[in-house]
Amino acid sequence: MDHTFKQINLYYDIVQSDLVIISTGRLVGLGIIEIENIEKVTVPFQDSELYNKINNCLEQCYSRIPPIPAKSSSLAIMLNKKNYSQATKNKKLIVLTWDEDEGYIICPTQKEKRNGYQHLVESQLILGQKLDETNLTSAINKCIELSTIF
């Protein structure tokens, strides 16, 4: 089945300086949800490695159906944490989406206590219909800078 929209979530750990990339799928009644397809990249990012891992995660969107109810978040499972709150401690979130009309868009977020991550739509970067290795790395680094944790 071809999809007209895909999303991956990129969590940047401000302490360990690494990036965890997670594919998403869709659950009826819940909407977009992270699935257990995860890649990890360490800083400094190599353009080709980051590009390949992001493409892999985009290709894996919708490839798995998470259990209902989910025992824990994909990120918490991967990091061996008790829950999503512990797994996202010290992590900035960057959201990369693709849709057939607008192409690729990367959006920084602001993490707020008790409100989770809020998308900073006014700061999103439109990358167009094709991903370029160098521009992708630059955009991710820019969104890491723009993303905040409160």
Q: Distance (Å, rounded) from C-alpha 26 to C-alpha 19?
A: 23
Q: Distance (Å, rounded) from C-alpha 59 to C-alpha 69?
A: 25
pLDDT, tens digit, 9 for 90 and up, residues 64-122 = 887 676 678 889 988 999 999 999 999 999 999 999 999 999 999 999 988 899 999 99
* Angle of helix 133-146 versus helix 47-60 axis, rounded to 10: 80
What type of residue sits at position 90?
N
Structure tokens at 100: 């057939």
Quick check: helix, strand or coil at residue 71? coil
Per-residue pLDDT, 69: 64
pLDDT, tens digit, 9 for 90 and up, residues 11-42 = 999 999 999 999 999 887 778 889 989 999 99
Domain ranges within the chain, ordered by starting residue: 5-149
Q: Which residue has the tokens 């991710």?
A: 140
- CB 50, CB 8: distance < 8 Å: no
CATH ID of 5-149, from 3.40.50.9100, 3.40.1280.10, 3.30.110.30, 3.40.1590.10: 3.40.1590.10
Helical H runs in 28-99?
A: 47-60, 74-79, 84-87
Q: What is the maximum span of the chain, computed from C-alpha positions, in angstroms?
A: 40
